[in-house]
Amino acid sequence: MPIVFITGASSGFGKATAEKFAQAGYQLILNARRLDRLEALKTHLVSSYGSQVLLLPFDVRNREEVAQQLDNMPAAWQKIDVLVNNAGLAAGRDAFQDGSMDDWELMIDTNLKGLMYVSKWVVKGMMEQKSGHIINISSLAGQEVYPQGNLYCATKHAVTALSKGMRMDLLPYHIKVTNISPGLAETEFSIVRFKGDTEKASKVYEGYQPLQPEDIADVIFFAASRPAHVNLEEITILPTAQSDSRTVNKNP
Ligand code: NDP
Ligand code: 8X3
């Protein structure tokens, strides 16, 4: 069975994507930092679908840990067919002049450097196989900038640029690269962004129907299951109530 490797699988898009690929019979390599969450997900996937699941509980920001855990994967798991670079976060929502340097570094290290570390390792094997599919989770924030979005938007613009660069350079190896850009989706994203302030987080999704994790998982799986000669290179998915980063039709 094909193997999918999903980063950030303990919550939100990553968790829903794991379920979607498990339903289709894929073997799953699941990463995140919270091992208890990953173990609960594995138990569920094994009992519901008989899935084969390998857990890799590392922090994508830690370059040595990424290399060490991936190098030590059993050989049978090293032929990865699909990599979903999903682990990511926003930290804070402040004007540039009020922003925290720690928040900025956290976003750059996770959203950009983490994606680089994991991809660099996985690409080696895909190049040998002369096949593979890398699916990068960018954001509408990778196409547009909004007030107080500064550094988060910068990291997601970088992800979108990197998707284009990867696509060009990996072309001779038949490796597909898909960049997915969701708009407002209800996950733990805003709870993380507002550092545990659930009241502030829930306001982001009030008065309209935001995207759900399963909506994004459907799109990721659709992209991954196209025929070998078809690559969906850029997908933007927004809730019907959203037209752009700044405009949401609330309480119509
Ligand atoms: P969640 O907070 O629900 O999930 C984020 C996932 O990333 C968690 O599994 C978390 O696991 C993991 N993660 C965070 N930091 C690290 C790290 N250093 N190492 C390994 N895993 C990490 O948010 P979403 O599902 O919404 O976010 C998924 C992706 O989608 C992100 O890249 C986000 O930027 C992007 N996105 C989100 C949108 C939204 O509106 N929700 C819209 C557009 C894009 P753990 O904490 O256990 O490590
Ligand atoms: C997450 C969506 O609009 O909060 O990428 O930036 S948004």
Q: Which of 11, 187, 189 has most ligand 2 atoms within 8 Å of its beta carbon, as the pocket-test mutant?
A: 189
Q: How far is the CA of 252 from the centre of ligand 1 (A)?
A: 30
Q: How far is the CA of 95 from the centre of ligand 2 (A)?
A: 15
- Note the pTM of the prediction, 2 decimals: 0.98
When pLDDT is averaged across residues 132-157 and rounded to a whole number, the result is: 98
Q: Which of 17, 181, 189, 234 has most ligand 1 atoms within 8 Å of its beta carbon, as the pocket-test mutant?
A: 189
Decide: 86 in ligand 1 pocket, CB within 6 A: yes
Decide: 11 in ligand 1 pocket, CB within 6 A: yes
Q: Which amino acid is at 46?
A: V
Average pLDDT score over the chain: 98
Residues forming the active site: 152
Residue whose Cα lies nearest atom 5 of ligand 2: it is 139
pLDDT in tens, 20-53: 999 999 999 999 999 999 999 999 999 999 999 9
In DSSP terms, which residues pair with 185 in a beta bridge? 211
In ligand 2, the atom with minimum distance to the C-alpha of 149 is 6
The rounded Cα 73 to chain-centroid distance in angstroms is 21
* Percent of the chain whose pLDDT exceeds 70: 100
Confidence of residue 217 (pLDDT cuts 50, 70, 90): very high
Task: Give residue 252's pLDDT.
Answer: 83
pLDDT in tens, 145-197: 999 999 999 999 999 999 999 999 999 999 999 999 999 999 999 999 999 99
Domains in the chain and their CATH numbers?
A: 3-248 (3.40.50.720)
Decide: 245 in ligand 1 pocket, CB within 6 A: no
Nearest to 128 by CA among 183, 78, 178, 61: 78
Residue whose Cα lies nearest atom 4 of ligand 2: it is 184
Ligand nearest to the CA of 107: 1
String of b and e for 123-141 (b: at least 16 CB within 10 Å)? beebeeeeebbbbbbbbbb
Q: How far is the CA of 110 from the centre of ligand 1 (A)?
A: 9
Q: Which residues line ligand 2 at a C-beta cut-off of 6 Å?
A: 139-141, 149, 184, 189, 245
When pLDDT is averaged across residues 136-147 and rounded to a whole number, the result is: 98
